[in-house]
Each structure stands twice: as structure tokens, then as C-alpha cells.
Amino acid sequence: MPWAHRLAAATSLVFAGALVGAVIAVPNPFARPGGPTLGVPSPDGPATTGSTRVAAVPAAPVRTTTAVDVAALSAGDLTGALPHAALDVSDGLRAALDALDGKDYAAAMQVASSLPDLERDIVTWVAIRRGLDGPSPRAITEFARAHPHWPSATLMRSRAEQALARSADLAPADLAAAYDAAPPVSDTGMFSLVRAYRALGRTEDARVLLAKWWASESLSPQEDAAILKSYGDLLTPADHKTRFEMLMARDRVTQAGALAKFVGPDAQTLVAARAAVVRGARDAAAKLAAVPAALQKEPIHLFSVAEWNRRQNRPRDAAAALLAVDPAATLAEADEWWVERRIVSRDLIERGEAKLAYQVVAAHSGGSSETLQEAHFHAGWYALRFLNDPARAIPHFEALQNVSSKPISRARAAYWLGRAEEAAGRMEDARQHYTVAAADEIAFYGQLARVKLGRDALELPPLPEPTEADRKAFAENDLCRALAILIAAGRERDAAVIYPELARRLPSGGQVRLLADFVQRRGDHRLALQIGKIAADRGLGVERLAFPVDSIPEPARKGTAVETAMVYAIARQESAFDPRAVSHAGARGLLQLMPATAAATARKIGVAFSADKLTDDPGLNAKLGAAHLKDLVDTFDGSYILTFAAYNAGPGKAREWIQRFGDPRNPKVDPIDWIELIPYGETRNYVQRVTENLQVYRERLAAGTLGIAADLRRGSS
């Protein structure tokens, strides 16, 4: 079954700030032999040089690439002939890129020196991204400053820091000055600056920099030991305690044990107790009890106590441990603490102990934006739906709104504020919040808000028609031109990171449409979807691009076993319309079918089948996926909620959740609460995303009415 595996869209990095000044060499003694230094990003291969030479390649005159070369990108019909018919890639550019393939930076730049500006920029950018030993820190920094809109800005800064560490004959003061504008973003830069600070006698500056990194960085035990050997004198017991608690919360108990001697004389008892809990050892309770009284209130001990009691099906005792944490304490790994609070609170909700569940989640603080969103939502939802206390719920939903920036999270916050105001009898206030939520009409809660407002259809804006100004600006955009050149040169891998960067930066919906249409005509539906999603989040009125309709072969769209919009809705979530997608579990193709499931379905409907066809024949994959969906719909008496949950987590889990949370087909069960009660976060998200996809695809394929309310009640008697 195709559950529990999602495909992540690629993203580009954001430039953190310019590295300034001439800079010096401060070697990193912890560089791994033969490879990149500690933690330095190297997506294109190791940061080493090669000996390949291309001196025989002449610096021949080459044609200058201009905006005319990419005019087809903005042509009215956007034919698939672009860019190969529109561009002649120079021999010099090909030679320079070939030299980079051989890790010969000097040869590449020798050839590039005679190339036009844009082609030289392309060679420089590719060289920087690959981490070759050659570009100077000044050259990298100047390139990044001159091209702030080009992808991989943070990676470029990291490369500048690596180059800085390789530079020679510069004083520590010069190195420190190079980081005045912004702190290092790489491990290499951090080590270099720490060493420079120490050489300058700026010991506290060195300690603060190292301690911040030490508190959160994921390293091997060997790397921990190397750092302690060379830099241990800079770190305080408090610094070690922070790292100790971080490692313990991440279940890296053995590694944490190596730091126990720096934390305190009895810290090993915390390690022994944590290790027993993580292993599920029979003596875990005894180990927890053996922790000295002076350490019983330590947050990491209370974390272990909570986890152990939760695993022993004692959520009240787990809650007591979580609530015993000093509210003023700074917790290492707040995200891990939230996971424990969430699981414990949901166990309590299931047992009918909503007040205690609310206290557990309301006490949370800190963590990532996603963690804060989840904590605020749970607290508000528990208060409203299980304590019937809208006054208590509203501040939590307001806090959720304050940390929500994307359509899905914005709509959720506004919708639940509307529900809380409605429960409090303030209908006009509720309507205002529903109106805010309804603006994000491609989101699950935005669609539910439209139902609340009595709006029976989506109102997706028509795709913007590119203006002449759009076409001109697009054709003159140096990043668009670089993209076209790289594609024409057959450098798809280098070009790949440019698409999402353009989707984030192109200033108008018309220009984004030019990009997305070009990608669609090249047949890359996954990339077209990625572009559409990014641009839709920017409010450019291109929501339709985030729901492409050419991604399933036309013959497979007709006569499907379930409504065609459902096939699209599932494929969008399962594979992002990548027909060759294969999950770690072996699910394949557009609808991520397991071969065994597909084979059984093929026999049932009487079509020829082989496992290879799941990725080679997207039409067959869609046909089999639709038939399998029909089986699930029939199994669950027409319930779409249960069908989607079963497609993601398996029919057995869907049946289990019916037993635990009630049957969403029962009119007395609130289907929205039922979805939110699903214990698997992935499946909760999946059901909501597929349901919202379904509404949009109905509108895109047939301009029908908004049917989300009916969909949530399907199967009800």
C-alpha cells in the first residue's frame, strides 16, 4: 500500500549575508581525511581539486548570448522546441563546464575568461556550488554580492568560508574582521573564527561562538572527542550540560554519557536512567528511582519519567512529570519536548481527561515555527472542543495566527478563531474570521470557511495572461537566460535549482506562468507543480498552476473507477505527479502503488501487468490506482475520509481509529474533529490535503460546486 511515504520538493537556500574583506587561512584540524570538513554542505561532491587539464581547448571566439536567445521562453505558444532551437551553446562554455566536471577550476576559468559575461557567470556559479579548490573568498563574495538573486546563496557563503580557511598568510585580526558583517554559516568558518578569536585573546568571544554551535550541532562521538581535545578549554560546565541534555533528548545516550563527567558527579545516573527508558528495559523504573533527589527535578530526568510512564500506558503520571518542569527552565530540544507533550495529551483526550490534556499542551514553549503552530492549535482545539471554553481557546488561536504565514496554516488559524467566536455567540466576529480563512480557498480550512459563509463554489482567479512587459522582463532576466543556456548545454542538474529560485523571485504572475508553462511543455509535471506551489504561496494569483491538469495522460482521465478529480488529488499528494517516483518502501509511480497491490488490482479488473509498468506507464498506474481507490471506497461504504486515511496508513489503521474515535460515517460524530484526532500527524495532514485537492480539481476539471461538506459526510446513513 502506498502509505507513509511522501516526496519532498527541492528547495534553494537563502543568502545569510555578505562575507567582507580579505581573509586568512586558519586550518580546521577536524577535517575528515579525503573529504569535506565537519558538516560543510557539499551536495555536488567533495570539495577537492583534480588534475584534469583542458589546455588544448582553444579560447575560440564565441557567440554572445543575449535576451534574444531566450525570447522563445516568452513566446506566445511556448513551444517545446525551446531552448535547444533557440540557443547555440558555445564550445567554450561546454569546455569550461567539462573542466569543472574534471575538478579543474584553473582550466575552467582560463577558458571562461574569454566567454561573454553571462556564460562566465554560469561557469563561476557552477564552480562555487561544487566546492572546488580554486575560487578565492573575495571572488566568491563578490560574485554573491553581484548576484543576490541567484540560487544557493547560503551555500556560496559557506564556500567562501571554506576558501577563507584555505587562504594563506593573513593575520587573525584580518580573519576576525572578515566576519564583522555576519557570523559564519559553516563549521569551517566557525572553527576558523574561534581559532582567530583565541589567537587575539578574545577568549569570551570564542567561547560564545563555540558554545552556541556546541549546543545544537549533530556530530559523531569521534568529532565530539576531537573538539573537546582542541577546544575544551573554551567550554564551561553549563555549555556541556546544554549539549548533554540535547543529546539525551535525541536518544543519543551513549554519546551524552561521554559528557557526563563535565556535567556533575551524579550525571551518569541520568544517563543510566535515560538509556533504560530508550531501550525499554525492565529495570527502567528502578533506574529512574535511583537518580539522586537533587537531580529528580532536572528537566531531562522529568522527560525520561514522562516518556516511561507514557510507554507504560500511564498518561496521567506522564503528564505530572511534564507539568513538574520549571516553567522558567530553558529546555534543550523543545521540538522533542513537544512530541512528548502531544502524544501524552492525545492519550489523555482519548481517556476523557481534557482538562489535564489542555494543561500539558498549554505549558509548552519554544521550538520551531511548526512546533509552535502545533502547540497553539492543540491548546486552542482542546479548550474549544473538549472543554467548551471559547474564551480560553481564543488566545491560543490568536497566537497560532501570529506564527502562521502559509495558506494552510493561515486558514486553519482564522477558521478556528471563527469557530471559537461562533461558540461564544459573537456571530459578526466569527464571520470576519471565516472571511479571512476563506481567502485561502485552496486550503482545507479555507474551504470549510467558505461553507460557513454560504459560498457554494471556489473562486480561483483565472491564470494571468503574460503581458508584453512580462515577456520582455522574462527574456532579459539573467537568471532565466542562464537557465535556458544550461538546459541547452544538457546541464539539467545544474539548472534544476534555478527553477524554484525563479518561482520565489519572479515579480508577476504572468512571468511565473511563462516559467510554469515552459516546464509543463517539457513534460516535467513534478517541477511544474513545485513552481506552482511556491508561487501560489506568494499571492500572485496563480493558484491554478499549483494544480496542473496535464499531468495524467488524457486517455487515463476518462472512465476512471472513481471520479477523475480524486485520482488527481491522490497523485498530487502521493508523487507530486512524478511518474517514475519510487518510495523507500517500494511504492511506485503516480499513485504510489505497491507492486503486490497493483498486481492484485490488475487481476481483478483484467488488465495485463508487470511491475515495471508502474513507472513506465503512468496511464496504467492511474487506472490501477483508481480501481484500488474504488475498492477502498466500497470497503468503507463510500466514506472519503476513511478511504484517504486507509490509502495513507492502511485499512487496518482506519478500522482501528473507528474503534478508538468513533465512526465518521455516524452523523453524531464531527468529521473535522475525527480527522484531527487521527494520531499519525502524516495521515492527518494527508487526509486534509487530499480533501482540499479534490475540491480544487473538481473546479479545474468541471467547474462544479464546492462539495467539501458532503465529502466529509460521505458514507453516513
Respond yes or no: is residue 574 known to be catalytic: yes
* Start-end of H helices in 368-477: 369-381, 390-402, 407-423, 427-438, 444-452, 468-476
**For residues 513 and 473, what is the distance between their CA atoms, to the nearest angstrom?**
13
Q: CA angle, corner 544, sides to 543 and 548, nearest 5?
A: 130
DSSP H helix total and E strand total for the chain: 38, 0
Alpha helices in 617-680 (DSSP H): 618-635, 640-649, 651-661, 671-677
- How many CB atoms within 10 Å of residue 171? 12
Q: By the 8 A CB rule, do 373 and 401 touch?
A: no
Nearest to 312 by CA among 338, 269, 275, 281: 281
What angle do helix axes 117-130 and 153-166 make, rounded to 10 degrees? 70
Output DSSP code: residue 63.
P
Measured between alpha carbons, how far is 668 from 664 in angstroms, rounded to an integer?
8
- Choose the catalytic residue: 119, 543, 574, 692: 574
φ and ψ of 686, to 5 deg: -60, -50
Residue pair 146/502 in contact (Cβ under 8 Å)? The answer is no
Helix (H) or strand (E) holding 322: helix 315-323
The one-letter amino acid code at 368 reads S
* Bond preceding residue 83 cis, omega within 30 of 0: yes
The C-alpha atoms of residue 702 and residue 139 are separated, in whole angstroms, by 54
From the list 280, 326, 281, the residue with the least C-alpha distance to 300 is 326
**Rounded to the nearest 5°, which phi and psi values hold at 73?**
-60, -25
Q: Is the dihedral of CA 467, 468, 471, 472 positive or negative?
A: negative
| Integer Cα distance of 344 and 658 in angstroms | 20
The one-letter amino acid code at 477 reads: N
Tell me how far apart the alpha carbons of residues 332 and 470 are, in angstroms, rounded to a whole number: 49
The size of the chain, in residues, is 717
Direct distance between the N- and C-terminal alpha carbons of the chain, in angstroms, rounded to an integer: 28
> How many Å apart are CA 343 and CA 180, to the nearest integer?
44
Q: Bridge-partner residues for 588, per DSSP?
A: 582, 593
The H-or-E segment that residue 528 falls in is helix 525-537
∠ CA 516-518-523, rounded to 5°: 95
Residues that are catalytic: 574
